[in-house]
């Protein structure tokens, strides 16, 4: 079992060290609890824009090219990501370069300068990213589904925002947004991989973490309260010139911290989690209706959603929707113990395969600490899945996967 070493910095920031014996790679990832779910109407796209500006220049590393050249010269991998409830920044490198990677990450997080000329250029890049999603429904339709069927007092369900939102963002707005919401008390730093587990090495790493991140002072305002639920709307059709139709069929699920989330994950796997799932077989293999199908399940602190996205021939979209609804309606009588056992084996196998990847651990532990305030081990997750029985699966299906809860978004010509 992997041992976690947690510390709290002088400024309240949380850090977790995850030694993984035998690995050469180390992933350092910084999570901050701000994402598109917390954005007000005039802030849509801000969290994502900040992510894009992370590597565009700091007080120490003046330009984006300075940063890129330095990181590339180390053979390291770097990126950042924005979710609905968090933003993260990471570098994956080798164990001899942990000190350097912490220096870079703290520099971009605490000392970014947001150069005006870079912001103008990146605004154009982000607008092209948005247009890419709009042109490619396989990448962006699930966000359209959330926009169509979720109601809330605030929040941008399309993480990137819209082109119109991005055009209004200037340096002053971006800097003020960061000051308002970025706070060390809502930060988690994870160092996972071949860092060694000796007392001396861990003590040294503690000192580095305090040195690089402990000086960040707080003062950001409290995160706003977000109220989220499904609207009463059941059906939305959008039209666009294209050669293929697409649809999202979804329904309310459980929240992030609901103990039934493990049951839900197993149900999702049985329905459409892999190439032996029921809807994959019914829609793709038996009916030959679709090239791609994948789940669009999301978990939020307030609620969740389950569902699927499917691409299908323009003249067969209604047929594919009916096949999906029919298969979902039969779940209460078609799910067997064999289905449950196979879904458990699949999820446990995927978890086990991920154990020797430092970036898997940084992502798992960072999000867990940020959203739950605790760590979790692979063995714990495995046990949660193992304990689920067929009765729980069938009860969940009866309570959640029912036609009167379905929402359908169809995109066609």
Distances in Å between the alpha carbon of 303 and those of 4, 201, 261, 299, 371? 29, 41, 11, 7, 14
Q: Check residue 219 and give its pLDDT.
A: 80
Q: What was the pLDDT predicted at 197?
A: 80
Contacts (Cβ under 8 Å, ≥6 apart) of 72: none
Token pair 């979902």: residue: 328
Q: In this structure, what is the dihedral angle of CA atoms 103, 109, 114, 118, given to the nearest 10 degrees? A: 70
Tokens linked to 342: 């196979």
Structure tokens at 264: 């839900």
Q: Which domains does the chain have, with CATH numbers?
A: 5-213 (3.30.830.10), 232-412 (3.30.830.10)
Token pair 């220096």 is at which residue? 103
The residue among 375, 383, 411, 327 whose CA lies nearest residue 143 is 411
**pLDDT in the model for residue 220:** 85
- Between CA 149 and CA 231 the distance in angstroms is 5
What phi and psi values does residue 25 have, to the nearest 5 degrees? -75, 150
Weakly modelled stretches of the chain, pLDDT under 70: none
Provide the pLDDT for residue 251: 98
**pTM, entire model:** 0.94
Tokens of 360: 């898997």
pLDDT per residue as tens digits for the range 114-161: 999 999 999 999 999 999 999 999 998 999 999 999 999 999 999 999
User: What is the C-alpha to C-alpha distance for residues 334 and 117, in angstroms, rounded to an integer?
Assistant: 59
Q: Are 263 and 332 in contact (CB under 8 A)?
A: no
Please give the structure tokens belonging to residue 154: 């605030």
As a whole number, the mean pLDDT across the chain is: 95
């Amino acid at each position: 079992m992997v041992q976690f070493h947690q510390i709290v910095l002088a400024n309240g920031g949380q850090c977790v060290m995850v030694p993984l014996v035998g690995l050469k790679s180390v992933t350092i990832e910084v999570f901050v609890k701000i994402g598109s779910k917390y954005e007000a109407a005039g802030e849509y796209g801000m969290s994502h824009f900040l992510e894009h500006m992370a590597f565009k220049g700091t007080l120490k590393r003046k330009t984006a090219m300075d940063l890129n050249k330095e990181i590339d010269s180390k053979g390291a991998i770097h990126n950042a990501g924005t979710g609905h409830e968090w933003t993260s920044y990471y570098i994956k490198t080798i164990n001899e370069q942990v000190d350097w990677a912490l220096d870079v990450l703290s520099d971009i997080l605490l000392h970014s300068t947001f150069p005006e000329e870079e912001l103008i250029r990146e605004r154009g890049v982000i607008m092209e990213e948005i247009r890419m999603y709009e042109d490619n429904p396989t990448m962006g339709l699930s966000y359209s589904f959330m926009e169509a069927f979720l109601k809330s007092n605030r929040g941008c369900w399309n993480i990137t925002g819209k082109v119109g939102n991005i055009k209004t963002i200037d340096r002053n707005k971006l800097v003020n947004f960061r000051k308002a919401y970025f706070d060390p008390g809502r930060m988690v730093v994870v160092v996972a991989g071949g860092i060694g587990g000796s007392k001396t090495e861990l003590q040294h790493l503690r000192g580095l973490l305090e040195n690089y991140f402990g000086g960040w002072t707080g003062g950001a305002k409290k995160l706003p309260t977000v109220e989220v639920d499904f609207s009463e709307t059941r059906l939305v059709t959008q039209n666009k010139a294209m050669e293929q139709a697409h649809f999202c069929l979804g329904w309310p699920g459980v929240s992030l911290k609901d103990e039934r989330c493990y049951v839900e994950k197993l149900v999702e796997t049985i329905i459409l989690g892999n190439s032996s799932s029921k809807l994959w077989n019914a829609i793709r293999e038996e009916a030959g209706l679709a090239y791609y199908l994948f789940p669009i399940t999301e978990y939020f602190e307030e609620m969740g959603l389950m569902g699927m996205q499917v691409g299908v021939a323009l003249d067969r979209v209604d047929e594919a929707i009916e096949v999906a609804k029919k298969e979902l309606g039969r779940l209460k009588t078609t799910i067997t113990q064999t289905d449950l056992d196979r879904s458990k084996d699949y999820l446990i196998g995927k978890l086990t395969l991920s154990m020797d990847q430092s970036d898997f651990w940084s992502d798992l532990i960072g999000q867990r600490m940020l959203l739950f305030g605790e760590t979790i081990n692979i063995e714990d997750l495995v046990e949660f899945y193992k304990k689920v029985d067929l009765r729980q699966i069938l009860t969940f299906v009866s309570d959640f996967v029912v036609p009167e809860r379905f929402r359908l978004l169809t995109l066609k010509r």
